[in-house]
């Protein structure tokens, strides 16, 4: 029986890997000497990822990426019905009867900078890049964050209402960045995706004339108090933004009340910001933004508060949401990853316990450890998956990266606040580089589809592997495992009366999927 099974499995693996090499383009790797490789894509070539491969009955699909250079390497492992596991082994046990949050998804930000970089490539290379993120052979992001007007990742400072004292918004107008860059890219995203794309918008600065310091940057907040003409106009600015985008065929799933409200409040901001204390955000939502959204055709747009570092958990959301009049308009809490070393991820679980009716979404993250993008650095990718795992295991419903792509300098950014990104573009060579971060994102975004539900997963034995498990809407199971050490680790996975054995290589991330039917 077993021999026969292995024979079938062998045939299946051979045909799957042949089919794989036909169906999937391999990583065109390039080593810049920074620890691992990037995969190079251009107008005619880009590596692809197919996850809908036929696998034999009772087997597990395994996708592996390693510091050593594997990128979504595919293999098949036998799913055994025997559950006799040596107690000496490391064992990950799944129990799908114990369920947690429903997954919303994964994505990145469609900033001015990202779209400047995309539009600086030839049209065929642009299409490859958008497909790499959103296409069925790419990592299939389903979330996108869209800044409302400019931020530091713009080439200039602007808002949509720069005419002083225009309280009736008669001069409100989208910028050339929206018309020439962001909206065309958003349209392409919708074209290539076979998933439902959910976009959310975030404002950085209100028009300077509406702010206490009459400037887009620095330390300043809205003039006056909640309910007055400044606050009413700022709320109408959100509605106008949705209306103008709708005219261009782009609609939104969500919005955050303000990007990083602590920026420009506690510190003098070097780039666009509008400061809000939790009390100011509560009152603005209660008197202005909430009623304006509710009275508009955009009343179903999900309003998120905070959109700032987790060190403000749970106090900031508790201040806003313990007011019933403000809370009625709010759906979720946005969280950024900077300063994470100050407080552990348990503050998310604590916030969930105190405010179970509101989802938590990781709304921004990026690596800014080096002054320029670090091409082929594996550790920046590990940081992403490490943080994604921490967030998912503490009730976050998804994780959204910052700029979809940056140029070789980590920009453009008018404030010179440069970062790294999962995709770096080289306009001179008309090519782009998929960093390890891109593949770390893909090990989640490709597999943990919207409406998947996290299930209980525990580990026994001597290991610090990090992992998360979900049940997908089609009933299949997915387990993502990260090993950030320099040693290979062998472990067993047990799910009810099924089990399999696996060795995860050193510095690797793996995604397993199987059906228990």
Binding flag, residue 68, ligand NAG (CB under 6 A): no
List, by residue number, the catalytic residues.
Answer: 260, 364
Distance CA 92, CA 491 (A): 7
Q: Which is nearer to ligand NAG, 62 or 305 (CB)?
A: 62
Burial class (CB within 10 angstroms; exposed 0-12, middle 13-18, buried 19+) of 186 = buried
Instruction: State which of positions 26-45 bind ligand NAG (CB under 6 A).
Output: 28, 40, 42, 44-45
- Of these, 484, 502, 511, 513, which contacts ligand NAG (CB under 6 A)? 484
Q: Which residue is nearest to ligand NAG (CB)?
A: 429
Peptide bond preceding 314: is omega within 30 degrees of 0, i.e. cis? yes
Binding flag, residue 249, ligand NAG (CB under 6 A): no
Q: Are strands 423-426 and 406-407 parallel, antiparallel or unpaired?
A: parallel
Please report where in the chains the tokens 């510190």 appear, as a residue.
267
- Of these, 114, 482, 502, 510, which contacts ligand NAG (CB under 6 A)? 482
Cβ–Cβ under 8 Å, residues 289 and 319: no
Shortest reach from residue 311's CB to ligand NAG, in Å: 23
Instruction: State which of positions 411-440 bind ligand NAG (CB under 6 A).
Output: 412, 426-429
- Of these, 48, 50, 120, 372, which contacts ligand NAG (CB under 6 A)? 120
Beta bridge partners of 309: 336
Q: Which is nearer to ligand NAG, 108 or 373 (CB)?
A: 373
- Of these, 214, 485, 490, 503, which contacts ligand NAG (CB under 6 A)? 485
HEC secondary structure over 310-373: HHHCCHHHHHHHCCHHHHCCCCEEEEECCCHHHCCCHHHHHHHHHCCCCEEEEEECCCCCCCCC
Binding mask 173-212 for ligand NAG (x = CB under 6 A): ----------------------xx----------------
Helix axis angle, 183-192 to 123-134, nearest 10°: 60
- In terms of Cα–Cα distance, which of 342, 322, 205 is closest to 265? 205
Instruction: State which of positions 157-176 bind ligand NAG (CB under 6 A).
Output: 168, 170
Rg, Å, the chain Cα set: 23
Q: Is the dihedral of CA 44, 46, 47, 52 positive or negative?
A: negative
Binding flag, residue 81, ligand NAG (CB under 6 A): yes
- Of these, 31, 369, 464, 474, which contacts ligand NAG (CB under 6 A)? 464
At residue 279, φ and ψ (nearest 5 deg) are -65, -40
Binding flag, residue 348, ligand NAG (CB under 6 A): no
Binding flag, residue 465, ligand NAG (CB under 6 A): yes
Shortest reach from residue 46's CB to ligand NAG, in Å: 8
Shortest reach from residue 303's CB to ligand NAG, in Å: 20
Residue numbers at the binding site for ligand NAG (CB under 6 A): 28, 40, 42, 44-45, 81, 95, 97-98, 116-117, 120, 168, 170, 195-196, 407-408, 412, 426-429, 450, 463-466, 482-485, 487, 489, 496-497
């Amino acid at each position: 029986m077993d021999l026969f099974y292995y024979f079938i499995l062998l045939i299946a693996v051979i045909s799957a890997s042949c089919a794989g090499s036909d169906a999937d383009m391999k990583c065109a790797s390039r080593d810049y000497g920074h620890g691992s490789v990037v995969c190079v894509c251009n107008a005619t070539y880009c590596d692809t990822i197919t996850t809908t491969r036929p696998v034999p009955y009772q087997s597990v699909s395994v996708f592996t990426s390693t510091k050593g250079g594997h990128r979504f390497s595919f293999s098949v492992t036998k799913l055994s019905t025997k559950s006799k596991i040596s107690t000496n082994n490391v064992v990950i046990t799944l129990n799908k009867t114990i369920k947690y949050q429903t997954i919303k998804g994964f994505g990145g930000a469609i900033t001015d900078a990202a779209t400047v970089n995309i539009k600086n490539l030839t049209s065929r290379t642009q299409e490859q890049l958008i497909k790499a993120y959103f296409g069925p052979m790419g990592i299939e992001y389903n979330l996108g964050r869209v800044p409302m007007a400019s931020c530091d990742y713009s080439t200039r400072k602007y808002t949509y209402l720069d005419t002083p004292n225009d309280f009736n918004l008669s001069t409100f107008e989208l910028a050339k960045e929206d018309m020439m860059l962001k909206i065309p890219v958003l349209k392409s995203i919708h074209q290539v995706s076979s998933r439902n794309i959910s976009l959310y918008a975030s404002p950085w600065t209100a028009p300077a004339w509406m702010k206490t310091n009459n400037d887009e940057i620095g330390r300043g907040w809205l003039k006056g108090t909640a309910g007055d003409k400044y606050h009413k106009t700022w709320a109408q600015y959100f509605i106008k933004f949705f209306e103008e985008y709708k005219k261009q065929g782009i609609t939104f799933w969500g919005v955050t009340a303000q990007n990083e409200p602590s920026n420009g409040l506690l510190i003098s901001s070097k780039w666009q910001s509008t400061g809000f204390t939790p009390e100011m955000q509560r009152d603005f939502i209660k008197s202005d933004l909430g009623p304006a959204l509710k009275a508009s055709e955009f009343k179903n747009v999900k309003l998120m508060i905070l959109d700032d570092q987790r060190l403000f958990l749970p106090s900031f959301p508790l201040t806003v949401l313990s007011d019933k009049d403000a809370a009625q308009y709010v759906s979720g809490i946005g969280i950024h990853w900077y300063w994470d070393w100050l407080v552990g991820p348990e503050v998310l679980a604590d916030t969930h316990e105190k405010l179970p009716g509101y989802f938590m979404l990781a709304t921004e993250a990026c690596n800014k450890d080096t002054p320029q993008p670090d091409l082929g650095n594996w550790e920046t990718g590990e940081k992403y998956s490490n943080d994604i795992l921490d967030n998912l295991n503490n009730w976050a419903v998804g994780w959204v990266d910052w700029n979809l792509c940056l140029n070789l300098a980590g920009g453009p950014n008018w404030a010179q606040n440069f970062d790294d990104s999962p995709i770096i573009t080289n306009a001179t060579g008309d090519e782009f580089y998929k960093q390890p971060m891109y593949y770390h994102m893909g090990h989640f975004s490709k597999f943990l589809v919207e409406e998947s539900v996290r299930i209980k997963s525990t580990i026994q034995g001597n290991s610090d592997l990090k992992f998360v498990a979900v049940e997908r809407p089609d009933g299949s199971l997915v387990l993502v495992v990260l090993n950030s050490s320099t040693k290979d680790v062998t472990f067993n996975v047990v799910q009810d009366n099924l089990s399999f054995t696996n060795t995860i290589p050193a510095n690797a991330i793996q995604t397993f999927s199987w059906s228990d039917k």
